[in-house]
Amino acid sequence: MLRQALAWPRRVKQLVAVTLDLTLGLLAMWLAFSLRLDTLHWPEGLQWLVYGLGPLMALPVFVHMGLYRAIFRYNGIAALLTTGRAVALYGALLLALLLLAKWEGVPRSVGMLQPLILLLLVGASRALGWLWFSGRARNARYRLLIYGAGVAGAQTAAGLASARQYALRGFIDDDSRKVGSNINGIRVYASGTLPDLVAREAITDVLLALPSAAPERRRAIIRQLAELPVRIRTLPSLTDLASGRVSVTDFQDLDIVDLLGRAPVAPDQELLARNLQGAVVLVTGAGGSIGGELCRQLLQAQPARLLLLDHSEYALYSIHQELQASLAVQAGADETARCTLVPLLANVTDEAHIAHIFEEWRPQSVYHAAAYKHVPMVEANAAQGVLNNVFGTLSVVRAAIRHGARHFVLISTDKAVRPTNVMGASKRIAEQVLQALAPQGGTCFSMVRFGNVLGSSGSVIPLFRRQIAAGGPVTVTHPDVTRYFMTIPEAAQLVLQAGAMAQGGDLFLLDMGESMRIADLARRMVALSGLTVRSDEHPEGDIAIRFTGLRPGEKLYEELLIGDNPMPTAHPRILRAREAHASWEELQPALEALRQAALADDGAALKAWLQRLVAGYQPAEAAQA
């Protein structure tokens, strides 16, 4: 019956509400007369007129005040207040009519009693309708605790009032002054009672409502919750909560920063603005994960012109549209913000086209993020990987020197250190190109080397989330494989700051913190989803973890430094290193031979030249042999 009522057309629902209010109006009039006359009443004479006029006077007032535009299952305090104002206006009109008419047999006090009774009846009908339509505790699929009994938690609870998917079973808070109190009838419990409460109430989800909590405290709470069989979620926006239409999809999984367990360092705004404000800046690979984030942050530094270069039409279109929208907001808040966005559809290996772009736009700072980065894909297409990563870089470097770019920053990777794959070896040669050309002067070259970024299209995080949502298994290549991780925004911030510190030929390493075992990350994500890992020891678990074996060219662990002499910089998470490299005179003929091998798609010759050029490069198949 509930589903049938919800499926009724809007007009039918309004007609039912009007009929109900008219009936309640008649009932309220009968009760008012009966109470006033102290007997069960039956109207006679002019009393029939009052019975008819009362409800007919109330109806246009209720329509005017919008009582029939409200949706019962989303009703709240505001709707009840509106009902009160409507009945008060109707009561004033009815009382005035009875005082003026002075009908015989009609007590004037009925003009006060009947609206009061009507208010109680109409208010009760709205409340019962809301309870019936919401039916949340009865049919809820998810049993929820809100961690945080502050303003955000209370607003979330109010937004959940009409969400039938959730039954709110309590608040959790660390403040002893709040423990034992109630928020709209929902009790606040101490955090120490969580295990018992989860078991007793069969809790499925815990929602974090802690917008102002310090990162350390937030991570401590997550570690505590990770031991329990619950799914941990975070708040949707308060706009969604205010709409009164909260659904399961509105709640978000834990932020990547929470999974990383790493407190961010606030950026040095002076370093971010250096060499950028009022300048012409070029970003290659602007449509990629790192390139796109560089563009977003560069926009805040207010360059005069931001050149977006990418060979993917869709990626370039997407980032251009996003930045145009951001620029419109920024310009509205700051009238001095003037930046021209220039989308450039180009391939970095097209040396003539790249030279033309530099000649036309004269970029002063260049951030070279364009590269093929997916290890198995580059391993299977080694020639294209080398042409793009090595000779695409050389193309942009030559154009930068020829046309007077002041600063050039190469986005590199930890896979360039003692590589076992073509991608890593090609990125190391790209570093060598900059190192060899740096002494020529004119352009200040620098390289920034870091590990995996969380949340990128190739990251394991979205892959694991999809696999967990599908019921598993979660696939990991090897039980002992480890990686360094950093969020995309933090990596982009540090790249911009490192570039500002460059003196020429600098190799910067980003402090990635402690490396993390991918298998441990997978187990942690399963636990934070409220599920358990299935294994030989726990065959009843929800999600299995399957080890598939190392992919072609993949290493068990990555390193950031070839030598062992990193030097600190002014930023606590940026290190400077100088590594041995060949001169340009030594490097140039070997590069030409490598180019010919790549153009001929000669895999054996290609890898032979990579071994000559890159110290420590050992192709995966050679290592296995």
Q: What is the mean pLDDT of each run of 10 residues along the chain (625 residues)?
A: 54 75 82 80 77 80 72 54 80 81 77 82 73 54 84 75 73 88 84 89 85 74 81 63 46 61 66 81 94 92 94 96 88 68 97 97 96 92 96 97 95 88 94 92 90 68 85 90 80 87 87 80 78 82 88 71 71 83 92 96 93 84 45
Strands 482-483 and 474-476: unpaired
pLDDT of residue 367: 96
CATH number of 269-452+484-514+557-620: 3.40.50.720
**Distance, CA of 113 to CA of 35 (rounded, Å):** 9
**Distance, CA of 128 to CA of 117 (rounded, Å):** 16
**Distance, CA of 625 to CA of 622 (rounded, Å):** 5
**Distance, CA of 403 to CA of 445 (rounded, Å):** 14
pLDDT of residue 241: 46
Nearest CA to 608 out of 600, 623, 597, 624 is that of 597
Q: Which residues contact 333 (CB under 8 A, 6 or more apart)?
A: none
Q: Tokens in use for 560?
A: 């950031």
pLDDT of residue 232: 81
pLDDT of residue 240: 47
Regarding the domain with residue range 136-254, which homologous superfamily does it belong to in the CATH classification? NAD(P)-binding Rossmann-like Domain (3.40.50.720)
Nearest CA to 405 out of 295, 288, 307 is that of 307
Domain ranges of the chain: 2-134, 136-254, 269-452+484-514+557-620
Nearest CA to 356 out of 372, 367, 345, 365 is that of 345
pLDDT of residue 411: 95
Q: What are the φ/ψ torsions at residue 2 (nearest 5 degrees)? A: -60, -45
Asked, colleague to colleague, whether 136-254 and 269-452+484-514+557-620 share their fold, the answer is: yes
Q: Tokens in use for 292?
A: 């796109």
pLDDT of residue 266: 67
For residue 494, the number of C-alpha atoms closer than 13 Å in the C-beta half-sphere is 29
Provide the 8-state DSSP code for 413: E
pLDDT of residue 8: 58
The CA distances from residue 150 to 170, 174, 176, 605, in Å, are 13, 11, 13, 66
CA dihedral 119, 125, 129, 130 (to 10 degrees): 30
Total length of the chain:
625
pLDDT of residue 562: 56
